[in-house]
């Protein structure tokens, strides 16, 4: 069979197999193979490698979109010197994502503006970059959505979304007190993830002792904390708001 016919057939087969990226890079791969006198196996390796990395990138892009992350905060842009109560070594260890593979939770506690959400988002981004699915919600969003879902009899759909992700990030626990039905939904979501060995990153401006103030039922608060803290790293961030401090250092009053 002539080379031209084989080439056509390869194109057709790549298309049928939906190896779109391999198809798109076929000519480049073949040319480079010839120029650099690659073996057939090396050419195949290059072609399939391109398909795999392009698929991975596409998946990361999709996962990023679906994650609902509110802002692109990174560990690289976190100023550790400005926040000495954040143990850099612990954050670097978390960035290896071992906690995720072991189904452990991460809790960032501290007052407003000290970088809790920043670090939570940065770790979530790391997970997404490595192909994991993350899902971010503030507690307020979770409550709003669960109320809408309850009315439409679709709570199970929301529960699946929250439990399916490899990593769930629950931001801003503690700003609003929960009603009984909301607290129950949150408890179920946390329990399901706990039983499935799936990680949660949670941020809160309340210390654990103050969780009774958020939850209508202290027994539920205790049971929820039990599950959250069973396998968990807690990072207590102290100090004042990063932005306020920077404003002051710039000579402006804190309320400017």
Distance of closest approach, residue 209 Cβ to Mg ion, in angstroms: 20
Enter the tokens of residue 220. Answer: 């539920």
67 binds Mg ion (CB under 5 A): no
Position 31 contacts ligand ADP (CB under 6 A): no
Quick check: helix, strand or coil at residue 10?
helix
CB 105 within 8 A of CB 200: yes
With contacts defined by CB under 6 A, how many residues of the chain interact with ligand ADP?
17
Closest to ligand ADP by CB, 186 vs 237, is 237
CA–CA separation, 235 and 109 (whole Å): 6
Q: Given the complex with Mg ion, which of 25 and 204 has the nearer CB atom?
A: 204
Which partner from the list ligand ADP, Mg ion, none does 146 bind, CB cut-off 5 to 8 Å by kind?
none
Q: Is 154 near ligand ADP (CB under 6 A)?
A: no
Angular region, 173: left φ>0, alpha ψ -120 to 50, beta rest: beta
SS3 168: strand
Does position 82 bind ligand ADP by CB under 6 A? Answer: yes
Phi–psi pair at 206, nearest 5 degrees: -110, 140
117 binds Mg ion (CB under 5 A): yes
- Sheet containing strand 105-109, strands side by side: 134-138, 167-173, 199-204, 105-109, 232-236
Please give the Cα distance from 132 to 53 (Å, whole number).
15
Q: Segment near ligand ADP (CB under 6 A), from 47-55, 73-81, 123-131, 223-231?
A: 73-81
Among 75, 91, 109, 118, binds ligand ADP (CB under 6 A): 118
Contacting residues toward Mg ion, per CB under 5 A: 117
Q: Which chain residues interact with ligand ADP by CB under 6 A?
A: 73, 77-79, 82-83, 110, 112-118, 203, 242-243
């Amino acid at each position: 069979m002539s080379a031209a016919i084989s080439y056509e057939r390869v194109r057709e087969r790549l298309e049928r197999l939906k190896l779109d990226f391999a198809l798109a890079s076929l000519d480049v791969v073949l040319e480079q193979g010839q120029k650099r006198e690659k073996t057939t196996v090396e050419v195949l390796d290059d072609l399939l490698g391109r398909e795999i990395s392009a698929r991975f990138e596409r998946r990361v892009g999709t996962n990023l979109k679906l994650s609902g992350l509110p802002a692109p905060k990174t560990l690289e842009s976190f100023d550790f010197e400005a926040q000495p109560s954040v143990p850099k070594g612990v954050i670097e260890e978390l960035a290896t994502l071992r906690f995720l593979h072991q189904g452990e939770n991460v809790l960032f506690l501290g007052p407003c503006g000290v970088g809790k959400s920043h670090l939570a988002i940065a770790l979530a981004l790391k997970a997404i970059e490595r192909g994991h699915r993350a899902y971010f919600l503030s507690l307020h969003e979770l409550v709003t959505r669960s109320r809408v879902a309850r009315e439409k009899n679709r709570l199970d759909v929301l529960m699946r979304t929250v439990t399916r992700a490899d990593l769930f990030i629950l931001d801003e626990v503690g700003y609003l007190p929960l009603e009984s039905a909301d607290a129950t939904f949150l408890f179920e979501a946390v329990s399901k993830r706990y039983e499935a060995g799936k990680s949660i990153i949670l941020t809160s401006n309340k210390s654990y002792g103050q969780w009774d103030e958020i939850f209508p039922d202290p027994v539920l608060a205790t049971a929820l904390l039990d599950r959250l803290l069973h396998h968990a790293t807690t990072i207590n961030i102290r100090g004042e708001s990063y932005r306020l401090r920077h404003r002051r250092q710039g000579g402006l009053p804190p309320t400017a």
